[in-house]
């Protein structure tokens, strides 16, 4: 705390001369303002440089207003006065505008627009203004309360590698406590120093970059290692750093692949869970499962729109509402399907398959007619955008982490429901022996409806989750449905564990071989793998055994 | 087959292969004139009917529902398409011996697997052998490990998806998403000439007739009886000392070959074959032709292929938005209300009309034969 205070004082002392210099518009500032209103482009550029060079936030704000075309000039007694415009209004047939002083923004009253002439910011002037505002922006961002913003600014500084910014970086570094922002700042510092003219500084920077596992430094390091004009020691340092970075990259790639595999597995699991429950309990292959997911996704879209219109201040919360809503919408449609038509076709799985396929076409086309054939835009809530940095060069996106968590929660809830509740008991009883359960007073029809609603609801939930990682369109379901069937077939119908294992296996295998084969051939390879797997276990990992097995 | 049925086949062939082309040859003003477009459309529908026969043999008789028959159709169509592409020769846009899409994809030499397709004989062989081999390998793996029922359907659907993905890739050198198109000649005859199209149409009718006779022969044979038995209770067939795997494999291969032949006739008549024809949706659409017409009856399968596609070509031009809704409703309606298809409904109606002439009433309905037919020598 004391250190921080001391630092603030130090900084204040450092910048004090500049501030005091600009506090009262000195002669050159006055002249610069006058030049701005003139027509000479070179003098206008120089004026911008003068004003921007003060580094004073108030002048920078003025430059911002100038860039936005919000600066005006008027002649007062033969002298040109520069003003900043404010709110506009109309009175009678006159357009009025509020005017302020250029430096401190002191209000100077409201005047007719007609009496002012705009100081036009042409392309050249805007280009002249840009670096000053950007430098200022970076400085402001480095003090932003959000670590993500600070980190972004630090990374930008590293990309610029401007030796003039070393002081800025060091200043930010001194006050920074966040691990990842510090990392980015150190990286930026080293990258900047790598461009230094001093060989010693460069060597140290190369060492530092190696230690930081800076992937973005690779290009610069490679250039340095191959540079003939520098000493052998420096080249060796660069080469060593490259090696270190490469090894680290292998590690991060491995972790990333594992994460992607787990992420795909959890998506597959979310989709296949409902499918597997319905198939396992009712022997119904629900081809409309994908369209129920699409319904969930569109329900999310609608909830989002409602929030955007009615309660924009709570927009981030829309997703929490969308989760149960999409579950309910899909479950409702599921119940209608089951009670309406599927119920009539028990014991005829192939017919049910065709029936649900027909339903899927109708739902799909209905969505297309209602919402249009184009993909709709579902925005991520702010708490799901961005990611968590786990190691240098590897950030795990929040939406993927969220889906993994959602899959885990869904599985846990399913286990709880099936094995800890009365409804679950009845579901399991009907699964094992439908006629006997019916004899013992279990209302099998109601259990079927409940099960189907549950499976459909899980599809809706999966659809809601998918809005965060993929496109939402009428054919959303088609893209995933075959994959989830693969999971169900591989997992078998006996136990939930089969579905979980199959999802993990297929997801992991897919992402594992994707770098080598490409996405398409990886998918084909998965099919071949499933076929071969079924050679050994024709009914999946956990088949129904004994009496329950298909006669 | 009884003599009466031979006569019926002959009559149908004459009507389709002689009368219709003759009407097509009439001057355009004549009231009986059939336009080139209509004849071409009929030719396309008839290729679908060939495929539907095979699918019906598999599903209606053996109870094996394949959702991947588009793949076999595509294999036949691509085999024919490759030959036609090579026949274009240097008359293509780029005037090289290579097909145009290879020039776009910067392929400099003809890939090895394309070369044999210069030969028309090899192509004819490939149209039969390639789908047969694919079905043999796939079916062997699936049936041997007793993948059946919905499991088999889902696996075949995955097959359709994979094939679609693979055929879409440019590096397969099969034209990618655009497929094979712009055919110019077949065996030297110009494909744009109405006479060639008429010839292709007649060939299609004859192929359909041959396919029907083949399927009829299979269903009437002992093997056909075993197939129906497998459909009704596979386990019981197994316990009776038959090996269902062999029968299922046999019928799967036959139906794949029929699909391949259908595809090979489709490509020159329609003039294009793309991966869109072999994906998940077209493959399952084929099933609804059979279901709507009446599965388990060969006539029903053909009628279904013809009827559904006729409706499709009308709806997709007049009310494009409605087609998928109609298709979905057709799937649901057929399964729920007329599981034995249009032919089944017709048969039931015929039985309900007591005042019909005896000859009509007791006409042999293929659908009811399994239950009611008395054995004939």
Distance (Å) from the alpha carbon of A540 to chain B's nearest alpha carbon: 10
- State whether B158 and A485 contact (CB < 8 Å): yes
Distance CA A266, CA A259 (A): 10
Distance (Å) from the alpha carbon of B161 to chain A's nearest alpha carbon: 8
Contacts 24+ apart (CB under 8 A), B138-143: B138/A531, B139/B248, B139/B249, B139/B252, B139/B253, B140/B249, B141/A531, B141/A532, B141/A534, B141/A535, B142/A531, B142/A534, B143/B244, B143/B245, B143/B248, B143/B249, B143/B252
Model confidence at B357, in pLDDT bands (50, 70, 90)? low
A480 and chain B: CB distance < 8 Å anywhere?
no
* Nearest in space to A333 (alpha carbons), one of A413, A427, A452, A447: A452
- State whether B142 and A349 contact (CB < 8 Å): no
Among partner residues B153, B165, B168, which is closest to A350 by beta-carbon distance? B153
User: What are the structural domain ranges in chain A?
Assistant: 25-130, 142-230, 257-548
- State whether B149 and A341 contact (CB < 8 Å): no
Among partner residues B146, B158, B165, which is closest to A520 by beta-carbon distance? B165
pLDDT at B207 over 90: yes
Residue of chain B whose alpha carbon sits nearest to that of A355: B332
- Let me know if A291 is exposed, middle or buried by CB neighbors in 10 A (0-12, 13-18, 19+): buried
- Give residue-wise pLDDT tens across range B148-189: 788 889 889 989 998 998 999 888 888 888 889 888 888 888
Q: Which residues of A touch B149 (CB under 8 A)?
A: 349-350, 550
Among partner residues B142, B150, B235, which is closest to A551 by beta-carbon distance? B235
B181 forms bridges with which residues in the sheet? B272
Q: Which residues of B touch A361 (CB under 8 A)?
A: 324-325, 327-328, 331
* Lowest-confidence pick of A153-157, B122-126, B366-370: B366-370
Interface test with A, best of B161, B169, B279, B334 (most A CBs within 10 A): B161
Q: Which residues of A touch B316 (CB under 8 A)?
A: none
Distance CA A103, CA A287 (A): 68
Model pLDDT, residue B300: 92
Interface test with A, best of B169, B177, B335, B341 (most A CBs within 10 A): B335
Q: H helices of A421-547, where?
A: 422-432, 434-439, 444-466, 476-491, 496-517, 519-536
Interface test with B, best of A359, A361, A538 (most B CBs within 10 A): A361
Q: Which residues of A touch B65 (CB under 8 A)?
A: 350, 353
Residue of chain A whose alpha carbon sits nearest to that of B162: A524
Model confidence at B359, in pLDDT bands (50, 70, 90)? low
Q: Which residues of A touch B146 (CB under 8 A)?
A: 538
Distance (Å) from the alpha carbon of B151 to chain A's nearest alpha carbon: 7
A321 and chain B: CB distance < 8 Å anywhere?
no
Distance CA B147, CA B130 (A): 23
The ipTM assigned to this model is 0.84
- State whether B331 and A355 contact (CB < 8 Å): yes
- State whether B150 and A521 contact (CB < 8 Å): no
Q: Which residues of A touch B150 (CB under 8 A)?
A: 285, 349-350, 353
pLDDT at B356 over 90: no
User: Using CA atoms in the order A110, A113, A116, A122, what is the torsion angle rounded to 10 degrees?
Assistant: 120
Percent of chain B with pLDDT strictly greater than 70: 94
Query: Can you point out the beta strands (E) in B271-364?
Result: 272-273
Among partner residues B149, B157, B331, which is closest to A361 by beta-carbon distance? B331
Distance (Å) from the alpha carbon of B138 to chain A's nearest alpha carbon: 9
Output the six-digit token pair for B34. 């059939």
Residue of chain A whose alpha carbon sits nearest to that of B329: A358
Model pLDDT, residue B376: 40
Residue bearing the bigger pLDDT, B84 or B97: B84
Three-state secondary structure call for residue B356: coil
Residue of chain A whose alpha carbon sits nearest to that of B287: A354
pLDDT-flagged residues of chain A (< 50): 15-24, 551
Q: In the CATH hierarchy, which fold is given to the domain comprising A257-548?
A: ABC transporter involved in vitamin B12 uptake, BtuC (1.10.3470)
- Let me know if B297 is exposed, middle or buried by CB neighbors in 10 A (0-12, 13-18, 19+): buried
Residue of chain B whose alpha carbon sits nearest to that of A482: B158
- State whether B149 and A349 contact (CB < 8 Å): yes
Distance (Å) from the alpha carbon of A288 to chain B's nearest alpha carbon: 11
- State whether A482 and B144 contact (CB < 8 Å): no
- State whether B147 and A523 contact (CB < 8 Å): no
- State whether B146 and A538 contact (CB < 8 Å): yes
Distance CA B178, CA A544 (A): 45
Q: Which residue carries 């309990």 as its tokens?
A: A281
Interfacial residues of B (vs A; Cβ cutoff 8 Å): 63, 65, 138, 141-142, 144-147, 149-151, 153-155, 157-159, 161-162, 165-166, 168-169, 235, 280, 284, 287-288, 291, 321, 324-325, 327-336, 339
- Let me know if A173 is exposed, middle or buried by CB neighbors in 10 A (0-12, 13-18, 19+): middle
Model pLDDT, residue B371: 42
Distance CA A102, CA A54 (A): 14
Distance (Å) from the alpha carbon of A128 to chain B's nearest alpha carbon: 46
Residue of chain A whose alpha carbon sits nearest to that of B161: A482
Distance (Å) from the alpha carbon of B192 to chain A's nearest alpha carbon: 36
Residue B19 has a CB neighbour count (10 Å cut-off) of 12
- State whether A354 and B335 contact (CB < 8 Å): yes
Q: How high does pLDDT run on average in chain B?
A: 87
Task: Read off the pTM.
Answer: 0.76
pLDDT at B125 over 60: yes
B41, B313 Cβ separation under 8 angstroms: yes
């Amino acid at each position: 705390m004391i250190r921080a205070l001391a630092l603030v004082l130090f900084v204040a002392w450092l910048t004090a001369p500049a501030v005091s210099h600009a506090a009262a518009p000195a002669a050159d500032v006055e002249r610069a303002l006058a030049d701005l209103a003139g027509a000479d482009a070179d003098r206008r550029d120089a004026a911008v440089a003068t004003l921007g060079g003060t580094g004073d936030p108030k002048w920078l704000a003025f430059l911002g207003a100038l860039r936005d075309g919000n600066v005006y000039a008027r002649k007062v007694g033969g002298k040109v006065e520069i003003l900043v415009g404010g709110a506009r209004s109309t009175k009678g047939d006159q357009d009025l505008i509020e005017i302020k002083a250029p430096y401190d923004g002191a209000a100077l009253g409201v005047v007719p627009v007609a009496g002012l002439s705009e100081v036009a910011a042409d392309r050249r002037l805007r280009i002249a203004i840009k670096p000053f505002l950007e430098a200022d922006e970076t400085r402001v961002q480095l003090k932003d309360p959000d670590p993500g913003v600070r980190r972004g600014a630090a990374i930008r500084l590293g990309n610029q590698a401007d030796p003039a910014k070393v002081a800025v970086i060091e200043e930010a570094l001194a006050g920074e406590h966040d691990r990842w922002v510090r990392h980015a700042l150190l990286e930026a510092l080293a990258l900047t120093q790598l461009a230094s003219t001093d060989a010693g500084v460069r060597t140290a920077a190369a060492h530092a970059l190696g230690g930081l596992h800076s992937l973005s430094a690779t290009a610069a390091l490679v250039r340095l290692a191959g540079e003939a004009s520098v000493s052998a020691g420096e080249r060796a340092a660069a080469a060593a750093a490259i090696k270190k970075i490469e090894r680290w990259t292998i590690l991060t790639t491995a972790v990333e692949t594992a994460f992607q595999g787990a992420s795909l597995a959890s998506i597959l699991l979310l989709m296949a869970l409902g499918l597997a429950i319905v198939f396992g309990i009712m022997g119904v292959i629900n081809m409309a499962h994908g369209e129920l997911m699409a319904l969930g996704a569109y329900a999310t879209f609608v909830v989002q729109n409602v929030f955007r219109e009615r309660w924009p201040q709570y927009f981030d919360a829309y997703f929490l509402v969308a989760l149960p809503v999409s579950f309910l919408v899909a479950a409702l449609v599921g119940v209608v399907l089951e009670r309406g038509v599927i119920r009539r076709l028990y014991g005829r799985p192939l017919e049910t398959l065709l029936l649900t396929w027909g339903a899927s076409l109708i739902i799909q086309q209905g969505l297309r007619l209602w919402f249009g054939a184009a993909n709709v835009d579902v925005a991520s809530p702010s708490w799901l955008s961005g990611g968590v940095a786990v190691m240098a060069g590897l950030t795990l996106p929040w939406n993927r982490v969220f889906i993994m968590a959602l899959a885990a929660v869904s599985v846990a809830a399913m286990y709880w429901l099936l094995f800890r509740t009365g409804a679950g008991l009845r579901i399991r009883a009907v699964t094992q022996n439908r006629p006997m359960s019916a004899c013992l007073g279990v209302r099998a029809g109601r259990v079927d409806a409940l099960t189907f609603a549950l499976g459909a609801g899980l599809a809706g939930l999966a659809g809601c989750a998918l809005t965060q990682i993929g496109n939402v369109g009428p054919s959303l379901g088609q893209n995933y449905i075959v994959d989830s069937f693969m999971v169900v077939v591989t997992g078998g119908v006996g136990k939930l564990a089969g579905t979980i294992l199959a999802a993990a296996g297929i997801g992991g295998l897919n992402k594992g071989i994707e770098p080598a084969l490409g996405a398409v051939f990886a998918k084909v390879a998965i099919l071949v793998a499933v076929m071969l797997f079924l050679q050994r276990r024709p009914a999946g990992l956990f088949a129904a055994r004994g009496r329950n097995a298909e006669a | 087959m009884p003599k009466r049925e031979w006569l019926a086949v002959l009559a149908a062939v004459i009507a389709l292969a002689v009368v219709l082309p003759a009407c097509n040859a009439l001057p355009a003003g004549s009231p009986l004139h059939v336009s080139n477009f209509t004849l071409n459309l009929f030719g396309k529908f008839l290729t679908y009917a060939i495929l539907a026969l095979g699918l019906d043999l598999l599903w209606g008789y053996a109870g094996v529902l394949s959702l991947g028959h588009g793949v076999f159709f595509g294999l036949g169509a691509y085999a024919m398409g490759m030959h036609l592409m090579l026949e274009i020769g240097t008359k293509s846009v780029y005037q090289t011996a290579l097909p145009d899409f290879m020039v776009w994809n910067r392929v400099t030499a003809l890939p090895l697997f394309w070369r044999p397709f210069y030969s028309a004989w090899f192509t004819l062989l490939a149209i039969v052998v390639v789908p047969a081999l694919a079905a043999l390998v796939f079916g062997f793996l699936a049936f041997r490990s007793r993948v059946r029922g919905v499991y088999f359907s889902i696996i075949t659907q995955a097959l359709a998806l994979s094939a679609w993905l693979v055929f879409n890739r440019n590096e397969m050198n099969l034209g990618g998403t655009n497929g094979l198109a712009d055919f110019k000649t077949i065996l030297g005859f110009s494909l744009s000439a109405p006479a060639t199209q008429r010839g292709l149409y007649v060939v299609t009718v004859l192929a359909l007739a041959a396919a029907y006779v083949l399927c009829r022969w299979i269903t009437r044979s002992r093997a056909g009886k075993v197939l129906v038995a497998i459909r009704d209770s596979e386990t019981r067939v197994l316990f009776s000392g038959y090996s269902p795997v062999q029968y299922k494999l046999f019928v799967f291969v036959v139906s794949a070959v029929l699909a391949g032949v259908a595809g090979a006739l489709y490509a020159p008549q329609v003039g294009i074959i793309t991966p869109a024809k072999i994906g998940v949706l077209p493959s399952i659409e084929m099933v609804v032709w059979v279901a709507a017409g009446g599965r388990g009856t060969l006539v029903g399968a053909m009628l279904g292929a013809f009827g559904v596609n006729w409706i499709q070509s009308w709806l997709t031009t007049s009310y494009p938005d409605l087609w998928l809704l109609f298709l979905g409703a057709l799937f649901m309606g057929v399964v729920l209300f007329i599981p034995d298809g249009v032919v089944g409904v017709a048969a039931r109606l015929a039985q309900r009309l007591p005042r019909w002439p005896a000859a009509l009433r007791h006409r042999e309905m293929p659908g009811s034969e399994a239950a009611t037919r008395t054995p004939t020598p």
